Every structure is written in C-alpha cells, then in structure tokens.
Structure 1
C-alpha cells in the first residue's frame, strides 16, 4: 500500500524499517523537528526516525504543528491509503486523522484501555504490572481511545527495566503493524471498541517522581528504579566522605520484603554489595551512575567511591 509513516524516537524505527522491507510504498515520513543535542546543546540533531528515513531514501517532513490548513492540505495531497503512527509526539487534528483512504493506525505500548497516554512502558513497571503488550488501533479524536485491531501480550519480568521492555515492545510493534497493514490491504482487518472499564492514564513522568523515597516499600522502590531505567533515571543522594552527590540508580533487586532492615535509608555497603532499608524490607542496588560518570556495577562503584550514607 501507499503509506505515510509518523514517528520520532528509536522505538519507532523498527516499524518503519519493517514496513519498508515488506514492500509498502512510504510516500513520506513525518517526524518531530531536529532538536538541540550534544554536550553544549548547540547542534540541531534529527530524530532517529528522521535519520533512518533519509538512510533508506524516504522524504521527511518535520512540521512544528499539523494545525495549519496548508500542512493538512499537503498531507492529503500525498494520497496515501493509510498513515502509520508510532510515538510521533504531535497532536493529529481531524483533517489529518481523515486525510487518508483508510485512516491512521497507531502502535501503542500497553493493553488498552490500561495506560493510555504518554508513558505506558514506565507506568506499567512502576505500578508492578506483570503483563503488558502492544496494540494497533485505528485512531480517533480521543487520547488512545480508538478501536483496537490487533494485540500482542508481553510478560514483564520481576527485574525487567523500562529500557529492556522498550526494546521488546518495539520489536513487537514492528511485527504487529506489518500484519495489520497486510490485513487492511486484504480487507480482513477487524476493529473492536475498547472497553469502558479499566481505563488508566499513563501521565508523563515528572521530575519529582524520579527521586527515591526510601519510606516506600522495597517492592515500590524496586519498581520505581527499574521503571525509570535508563531514562529519565531514578536517583538519590549518596555521601562520599563529607560530600553528598546525586547518583542515578539503574538496576536493583528486592533483598527482603518485610525484614528488620533498619530505618528507611539505612545503608549497608560491604563485600561489593549496597543494600538499603526501605519502609518495609530492603533493596540491593546493582548498577549505579555518578553525575558525569559511567554506569557501574555495585562492586566496581564501591571500589572507586566508598559510600557512607544515603538520603
């Protein structure tokens, strides 16, 4: 079919590549405009989708918004059969939603209607969910409220990080969207309305959520750490000598659930292990990163920087 692809981050790239490799004609790729990047934030850097589209020879459009009539007319002039949307990041007005023959189809990383919104992967892990999935839906004017075409369920491991789940779901999205477009082309794609029950919103991660509160239970702390790893990253302050520094926490495991591990924040750091008491139970920190440093396993981290306190 003749398709328009709309996506921005690395998560979207496997789907773009899979559709191209399957022989669909990608009339244009839409991605968010290049953003400042690099250590000084001066160079404008194209998105991962933008770079991939240029690599495989697909024209790229990067409008700041799709609300202008001229942009909507340019979209419709592509005369596409459908648009595929994966983590694009811009609002699609009604003329865009209705600007192709069959509409816009979105790959969303949750089991809708649970975790509609911006951060479904992070939120599922932070909530302690043991299962999530990938869904393809036909978009409407609501926030992730469209009818569902296909789904694939994916278990969440007890120590799995958001980064690991992100990569698994990106691969799932690619395969699912290829199937969805094949069924759309053959006229066999069926749509099912979402349930009105079980609606949960995956709000964007706020900065105040990233600092660890050791008064939470060990399970809650562990889920917060892995749900925010590697980005934006959970953090705490650690004392090195007389100085407190911010440290990013990238991997953990639950050491005990309800043992007598001391007051929340009590630290045990010996034999290459970092264990911290929580409101109930304790967690072991397995991978950490000081500001400006590299991610390190706990034993290596302690050899370079003995820790005397946590807050």
Structure 2
C-alpha cells in the first residue's frame, strides 16, 4: 500500500464495496481470501492467480517452503483461473518449469519464482484469449497440500530426522525462524547451521543416541547426533547468544573431558514432537 500511495496508484480496499464492469481481467498473487462467484463474473476473462509451484503439486499458502522442505529438484510457476470459494484448483492457462538450485533457500527460490512469474503473467495476458481457449483442468493425481509455516515446524526430532532433512528444514525456514530443541527443560535455538559433521568417537563400542552433543574445537562447532549422522551449529540462543565455544565452556566441558559425546540427560538435546516438520513430511508422503 505504501508503494502504491507513493507512486500515486489507486488503492482499493478488500472486500470491495463496488466493482464496476470496466475491468477485463483480475490478477491475484499471494492472496489469502476466497473469491465469490459474483465477483469473478464481473471480469469477462475471469480472475487469474500466479502460483509458485507446478500445480496440482503444492496447493496452499506455502508452496515454496514445502518445495525446499521435501527436496523437490523441479518446481515452477502456474497461471490459473480462480474458481469460486476454492484455492488453487482452477484450470491452468500457462505453466513454466524451474530447476531448483542445489542448496537453494526458500528466500532465494521465492525471488527467482517471483521474477519468472511476472514474465509468465505478462506472456499470458498478451495471449489471453488463446490461453483461455486451450486451458486445461488440473490432474486429479499428484495433488499435495502446502500448509502455512508455523513455529511448531521448527522443533527438532533428532531420532527421526536425517542430516539431509535437517539441512532442508534449515534452508526452508531459516530466514524466518530458528531451529529449536530442548536443553535441560529449556528451549534452545540453534544458530548458524553448517551442515553435516564428521565425528570420530574415542569409544567405538558406545553408540551415541540422537540428541547427543559434542564440541569440535578445530572448527568451533557444536555437533548434534541425529538419525543418520551429525549436524553442526556455530552458535545457540538461550537467554543470550552463545558461540559454540561459550556453550561448551558453560555446559559441556565435563563430558567433553572424557572425549565422548554427552550422553547423560543433562547432555542431550531433547526432541519435541507434534506438528513439527518431520510430522509434516510424513503427512504429505501419505497423500
């Protein structure tokens, strides 16, 4: 709204008090309101939606987040017509693929798809009559839902999540919220994810349990055991931000003097289940 006002563009409040019939087509992007048939019918060419996924995959409000979270290598942009009182189910007018770069974050992918979507929308509007004549209904198979991001997704489940899954989760939500776990009954936020760590244990007969924590002095990294290996973080947030060295000196030095990961109750990052990203991935895999 500030941009529109600064550039002297007309601003219309939602819901509209009155929409006359001088408009040919409507366009919505990231618009979280259902549209009634009487409103859609006021536009001779309907209302178009620019959606950042290859529909019917990732219908819903957070397709980019779920694209990264689930490790999709290909995504895209879809231009579709809005159906009354339903989200992301209308016929497709135009669609373009986009290769997801390796280690891309949701923020980076969103910027790339926004640019691609703008060009695709212009192309669609320039050939609108032809696009509408050749529109196609969405496939009934392959539909998945992309629910909103919420803080419950940031809780770690060390025994269920692999190194790769944690990496994808960090790239998906890291620009909006921190990954979280429980330390001695308190929430601890995990900062500056560095990826998979290679740990050489002194006692090969004692297998670390998921959530075990150790400190790598040479790289100043906290390494945490997960389902299939170790992942590293450079800092944590308790009451204040602590570097890995600070956390080691304040909490881990007794167990680290024995040259093995912490395996006491006090030396574990504890999982918190229910509504987290691991749960979301199981739910979507069942669709």
Band of TM-score, shorter chain: 0.7 to 0.9
How far did 1:249 drift? 4.3
Report the counterpart of residue 44 of structure 2 in structure 1: 101
Instruction: Point out where structure 2 has 5 or more consecutive residues left out of the alignment.
Output: 253-266, 271-287
Say how many residue pairs are matched.
241
Matched, 1:231 2:182: no
Matched, 1:166 2:110: yes
Contact 1:226 1:252 (C-alpha < 8 Å) held by counterparts: no
- CA change 1:162–1:250 in 2 (3 A) is farther
Matched, 1:246 2:188: yes
Q: Distance in 2 between matches of 1:150 and 1:51?
A: 31
Instruction: Point out where structure 1 has 5 or more consecutive residues left out of the alignment.
Output: 1-49, 295-299
Contact 1:116 1:199 (C-alpha < 8 Å) held by counterparts: yes
Q: TM-score w.r.t. structure 1 length? A: 0.68
Report the counterpart of residue 210 of structure 2 in structure 1: 264
Q: TM-score w.r.t. structure 2 length? A: 0.73
Matched, 1:221 2:161: no
Q: Distance in 1 between matches of 2:188 and 2:2?
A: 34
Q: Which one has the bigger strand percentage?
A: 1
Q: Distance in 2 between matches of 1:232 and 1:98?
A: 40
- Secondary structure of residue in 2 paired with 1:114: coil
How far did 1:90 drift? 1.6
Q: Distance in 2 between matches of 1:157 and 1:52?
A: 31
Equivalent runs, 1:10-159 vs 2, <5 Å: 50-63=1-14, 66=15, 71=16, 74-75=18-19, 77=20, 79-141=22-84, 142-159=86-103
* RMSD of aligned Cα (Å): 2.8
Q: Deviations over 1:224-267 (max 9, x none)?
A: 2222221244323457xxx95531546442447xx998321122
Report the counterpart of residue 151 of structure 2 in structure 1: 207
Higher relative contact order (CA 8 A, sep 6+): 2
How far did 1:156 drift? 2.2
Matched, 1:179 2:123: yes
